[in-house]
Amino acid sequence: MITDIHSHTVSATKEDAITSFCMKDKDTDDFISAKYISAGIHPWYISPDDIRLQTEWVEQTAINDKRVVAIGECGTDKLCDTDMNLQIRALRSCIDISEKLNLPLIIHSVKTSGEIIRLRKTLNPKQTWIIHGFRGKPEQVMQYIRNGFYLSFGKLYNTESLKATPTDKLLFETDESHININDIVKDAAKSLDISYDKLYSIASENAKRLFFNR
């Protein structure tokens, strides 16, 4: 069963993860060997010269590669140097692909939660949006949950935010860390004061419902 819904590396311990790739990764060994894929346009790696090519790559990869189970990561980041208008253009392209192909969207958001929520309200998409690597406060949890988001927690997180997240909206990830996903789930289970087996089952069922029951 899948528990790690967002990883950037493929290894023996992560063979059942959903690994995230951009166009720049398309010829790497990790891309070739990954079992499940999310394809996106990362806000760190966009230029006016390649946004059209990246958009075409994401769409064609999602159409033609049966390993693709999600679009992303994509999103907005106020701490990177990429022009915000370009970031939003890329994000909206990924949203369009997500809607067209009926695939959930994995979102990178750094200091842009308000903008992301407003965009979802404006577009009213049918597909699920997932905030990956969520580290925000409980108040942000409530804002996201009220607007239909799922939240994915990694190695670092706010314990009170984890507790505030409804279990049916809860996911886990390794992202760029080399820690085993089972250790992340074990740590979260302690924070939630429930058994590891129960939390593992919850997270796996959520992932199955979002990515594999289509």
Domains of the chain: 12-212 (3.20.20.140)
At 13 the pLDDT is 56
At 169 the pLDDT is 98
Measured CA to CA, the distance from residue 113 to residue 119 in angstroms comes to: 10
- Pick out the chain residues at pLDDT < 50: none
At 9 the pLDDT is 86
Task: Report the mean per-residue pLDDT for the chain.
Answer: 96
At 16 the pLDDT is 82
At 170 the pLDDT is 98
What is the value of pTM for the model shown? 0.96
| Residue 46: both structure tokens together | 């966009």
At 213 the pLDDT is 84
